[in-house]
């Protein structure tokens, strides 16, 4: 079992274990040592989002990597997919993103990418954890690494993202409200959309270190909805703090989640002969409505564990090129090695331009089954295995009686138990979820 790494890197409250400067330096030393392979000069690319603690964590990582002999390239605030792309294009041995994604500013995290731009395997993370608990392999004085900052990283990423948009299309006349969550994409996302011709109304583009994901972004779309309606925009695009996930709002302010977006892209790519694998990969959380829609299109839905890394592992193992999560992580391996909110948004916008139909008609491809998700907080050991909880889960499954499903899992990034149920009858789904949550609360 991994001690520090969760489903998406290492994450926690800043200045509390495991998210301390000392821990970040140890991560740098351990990951650096793990990737010191071959006789070439080794290099790591480090990016971050806009939260205040990013300065501290970035500096600690630089100290760790350089102390074991690895050179560092700093790119500043950049989306997670940009760091993955730059690590690969710059022939780096490793990429690091300092971000807690959709969490509030008080949290931070460390995500690691290999030289191929993909997130590390469980095996790599276990080896790095072992090195973190051992004495560091410090470099000789003459072999200590150097650090430099590059200024053109935003332009490089904007160019790469635009390459995913069809060359024969423009966004002229399309009014787009883009919400950057006061996060990593606050510069690059509005710029890319403007360069493609869109009329851009940007919000969530005034980061101050404390306001990332605060009332903005893909996890809180109320302000975006108001702006879309106020400006009579054609579409609203919401990114999260590190811009690796996307939620869309149509011109009526109705939210479009990752399941609907995957359905749109899969159908389009399938009809153009660009879809590989005969379907898509999603997680156990994706709605049964998506599965039924894909079946009607002659496509399959492969389910993976929650976490975009597990989606990607399944995609690579079975040669799929579209996958993602209901929460908005959309992975399009034709263009990126990880979830990329901007690239996914450009695919949606391309469909909008070509269809010449309102987003409200284009983006709602299936009726989702009633689904409810609730979180129950706990302290100490998760109470999932207690008899009272197991009885409540079994009772809920029996009540759904084959017409739906129950999914209970521990969050990989927070001390939460996530309780999800879906079925034909919304009232029954709500009752099942509340009964299981009540058992969990009592047990916790």
Contacts of 189 (CB under 8 A, 6+ apart): 178, 180, 202, 237, 239, 243, 341, 342, 345
Nearest-angstrom CA–CA distance, 170 and 210: 36
Peptide bond into 280 cis (omega under 30): no
> In whole angstroms, what separates CA 221 from the centre of its chain?
17
Pairing of strands 175-179, 235-239: parallel
Pairing of strands 246-250, 279-283: unpaired
* HSE value, Cβ hemisphere, 13 Å, CA-based, for 375: 9
Give me 281's structure tokens.
């990969």
SS (H, E, C) 227-241: HHHHHCCCEEEEECC
In terms of phi and psi (left: phi > 0; alpha: psi -120 to 50; beta: otherwise), the region of 247 is: beta
Phi, psi values for residue 13, rounded to 5°: -75, 135
Give me 18's structure tokens.
């495991």
Q: How many CB atoms lie within 10 A of CB 97?
A: 31
Exposed e or buried b for every residue in 249-284, given b needs 16+ CB within 10 A?
bbbebebbbbbbbbbbbbbbbbeeeebbbebbbbbe
| Selected catalytic residue, list 101, 164, 218, 286 | 101
Nearest-angstrom CA–CA distance, 440 and 427: 20
Nearest-angstrom CA–CA distance, 237 and 386: 42
Nearest-angstrom CA–CA distance, 323 and 129: 29
- Concerning whether 101 is annotated as a catalytic residue, the answer is yes
Give me 225's structure tokens.
């909805």
Three-state DSSP class for residue 13: strand
Q: Which residues are catalytic?
A: 101
């Amino acid at each position: 079992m991994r001690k520090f790494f969760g489903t998406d890197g290492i994450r926690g409250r800043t200045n509390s274990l495991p998210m301390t400067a000392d821990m970040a330096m140890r991560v740098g030393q351990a990951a650096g040592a793990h990737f010191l392979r071959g006789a070439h000069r080794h290099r790591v690319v480090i990016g971050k989002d806009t939260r205040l603690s990013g300065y501290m964590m970035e500096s600690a990582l630089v100290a760790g990597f350089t102390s074991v002999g690895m050179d560092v390239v700093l790119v500043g605030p950049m989306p997670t997919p940009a760091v993955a792309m730059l690590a690969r294009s710059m022939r780096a041995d490793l990429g690091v993103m300092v971000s807690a994604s959709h969490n509030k500013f008080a949290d931070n995290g460390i995500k690691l990418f290999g030289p191929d731009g993909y997130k590390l395997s469980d095996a790599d993370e276990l080896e790095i954890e072992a090195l973190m608990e051992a004495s560091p392999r410090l470099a000789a004085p003459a072999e200590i690494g150097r650090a430099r900052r590059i200024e053109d990283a935003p332009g490089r990423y904007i160019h790469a993202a635009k390459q995913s948009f069809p060359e024969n299309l423009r966004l002229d006349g399309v009014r787009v409200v883009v919400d950057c969550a006061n996060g990593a994409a606050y510069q690059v996302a509005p710029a890319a959309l403007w360069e493609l011709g869109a009329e851009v109304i940007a919000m969530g583009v005034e980061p101050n270190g404390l306001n990332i994901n605060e009332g903005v972004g893909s996890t809180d779309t109320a302000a975006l909805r108001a702006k879309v309606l106020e400006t009579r925009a054609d579409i609203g695009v919401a990114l999260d703090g590190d811009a690796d996930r996307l939620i869309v709002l149509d011109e009526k302010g109705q939210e479009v989640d990752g399941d609907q977006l995957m359905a749109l892209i899969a159908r389009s790519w399938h009809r153009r002969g660009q879809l590989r694998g005969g379907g898509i990969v999603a997680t156990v959380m994706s709605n049964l409505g998506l599965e039924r829609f894909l079946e009607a299109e002659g496509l399959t839905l492969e389910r993976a564990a929650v976490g975009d890394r597990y989606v990607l592992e399944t995609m690579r193992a079975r040669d799929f090129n579209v996958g993602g999560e209901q929460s908005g992580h959309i992975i399009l391996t034709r263009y990126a090695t990880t979830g990329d909110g901007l690239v996914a948004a450009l695919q949606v916008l391309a469909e909008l331009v070509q269809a010449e139909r309102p987003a409200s008609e284009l983006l709602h491809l299936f009726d989702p089954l009633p689904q409810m998700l609730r979180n129950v907080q706990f302290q100490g050991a998760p109470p999932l295995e207690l008899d009272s909880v197991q009885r409540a889960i079994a009772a809920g499954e029996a009540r759904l009686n084959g017409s739906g499903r129950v999914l209970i899992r521990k969050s990989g990034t927070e001390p939460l138990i996530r309780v999800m149920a879906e079925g034909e009858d919304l009232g029954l789904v709500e009752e099942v979820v509340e009964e299981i949550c009540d058992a969990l609360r009592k047990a916790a």
